[in-house]
Amino acid sequence: MAHTAANATAETQATPLLDRLFEAGLLIRTGVDGLYGRSGTFERIVEGVDRLVTRIGRDDGAEAIRFPPGMSQSAFVRSGYLKSFPHLAGTVHSFCGCDADHAALLRCLETGEDWTANQAATEIVLTPAACYPLYPVAAERGRLPADGLLFDLQSYCFRHEPSLEPTRMQMFRMREYVRMGTPEQVIAFRQTWLERGTAMMRDFDLPLAVDPANDPFFGRAGRMLANNQRVQGLKFELNVPINSVEKPTACLSFNYHQDHFGTTWGIEQADGSVAHTACVGFGLERITLALLHRHGLDPAAWPGVVREPLEL
Ligand code: AMP
Ligand code: ZN
């Protein structure tokens, strides 16, 4: 079965995956690289993966929260995102002017001049990772209980990284579990999900490797941060070849933040010391694309062992 899929992939490689996804109607063009519509079939796979992740974590008693894909600008600033990833951030701007400003706006539209000059930043920014809106909410609740906290999140996220690789979208969904507590609790959580996530992807018959990784910190100072993150083993990614064998794609991430968010937000352990946090992130579109690339663009023809857990 895997053989057939591999051959089919080799035969059609002349056409880039993104174009094949458009032709099959699985993704829908919007005119912007990395911003796509999804077909019903694509969404059924995404939903199947989402449900499967829920089933795998069912007995852990995570508290589910769904935030909208925008978060508070002040929380975003306090989180430090602009220090580390200014190049990826997306801010929501709106027209906040008077009649005269509106007239000026209309003139710009008519003459084809830049109409955005009068747009003002709102109190909302686009969520860069599903867990970012959570930390201030958790901090508000006061000290953690002795066994810490566990959350289940899912959100559309925005990152300004336009690309022709279908796996690098500007708007995509991230499913996450987030653990807060003692270093031992959060490290154990990350290890459990590293094993569960790997087993889930292996059961899909996907070729994969789990590797140390780093976030794309901005600039020269960022290189040092990225290096530290790698050396300290704070981030691991589960990579699957999708666009190319040489540069496999991170489909799942396993992050140990140490006390970064605990300190930033004043989240305290039961004994009053700073809480540690960790999160596991599932890239729902990326997992879907890994499956489509591996098993073919028609999910009805996928092997039963893949369709069944996804209830396809
Ligand atoms: P990160 O916070 O970068 O570790 O992202 C968490 C997960 O989201 C990754 O493991 C990917 O599966 C997914 N992801 C990150 N960036 C993108 C993107 N530009 N397009 C689609 N999925 C993404
Ligand atoms: Zn996270």
The per-residue pLDDT for 118 is 85
In the chain the domains, ranked by start, together with CATH numbers, are 13-71+128-310 (3.30.930.10)
The residue whose CA is least distant from atom 8 of ligand 1 is 283
Considering Cα of 180, then 185, then 187, then 193, what sign does the dihedral take?
A: negative
* Cα within 13 Å of Cα(297), Cβ side: 15
CA angle 228–226–186, rounded 5-degree value = 65
Tokens linked to 269: 């352990």
Would you list the DSSP string of 114-175? --GGGEEEEEEEE-SSTTTTHHHHHHHT-SPPTT-EEEEEEEEEE-----SSTTS-SEEEEE
CB distance 286 to 239 below 8 Å: no
The one-letter amino acid code at 104 reads: A
* Cα within 13 Å of Cα(258), Cβ side: 7
* Alpha-carbon distance values, 308 to 52, 129, 183 (Å): 10, 29, 37
Phi-psi label, residue 213: left if phi above 0, alpha if psi -120 to 50, beta otherwise = beta
The torsion angles phi and psi of 80, rounded to 5 degrees, stand at 90, 5
Nearest ligand, measured from the Cα of 282: 1
The residue whose CA is least distant from atom 3 of ligand 1 is 215
**For ligand 1, what atom is nearest to the CA of residue 237?**
10
* Alpha-carbon distance values, 82 to 21, 86, 125, 217 (Å): 34, 4, 11, 10
- 26 close to ligand 1 (CB < 6 Angstrom): no
Rounded Cα distance between 46 and 50, Å, is: 6
**For ligand 1, what atom is nearest to the CA of residue 252?**
10
CB distance 185 to 148 below 8 Å: yes
- 169 close to ligand 1 (CB < 6 Angstrom): yes
Tokens linked to 155: 């959100």
- Walking along the chain (312 residues) 10 residues at a time, the average pLDDT comes out as 46 80 98 98 98 98 98 98 97 96 96 93 98 98 98 98 97 98 98 98 98 96 95 98 95 98 98 98 98 98 98 97
Write out the residues surrounding ion ligand 2, Cβ under 5 A.
129, 131, 279
The per-residue pLDDT for 6 is 47
Mutate to test the pocket of ligand 1, among 174, 234, 243 (most ligand atoms within 8 A of CB): 174
**For ligand 1, what atom is nearest to the CA of residue 163?**
19
Rounded Cα distance between 65 and 309, Å, is: 24
* Alpha-carbon distance values, 16 to 7, 10, 242 (Å): 16, 11, 11
Tokens linked to 129: 């990772």
The residue whose CA is least distant from atom 17 of ligand 1 is 168
- 172 close to ligand 1 (CB < 6 Angstrom): yes
Tokens linked to 85: 């990833």
Tokens linked to 228: 């530290």
- Mean pLDDT score across all residues of the chain: 95
Pairing outcome for strands 171-181 and 209-212: unpaired
Alpha helices in the chain (DSSP H): 2-12, 17-23, 40-57, 73-78, 81-84, 99-111, 134-140, 183-203, 219-231, 260-265, 284-295, 304-310
**For ligand 1, what atom is nearest to the CA of residue 169?**
20
DSSP state of 67: -
Nearest ligand, measured from the Cα of 34: 1
CA of residue 278 to ligand 2 center, whole Å: 7
Residue for token pair 């396809």: 312
Tokens linked to 298: 């028609």
pLDDT tens profile 1-17: 444 444 445 445 678 99
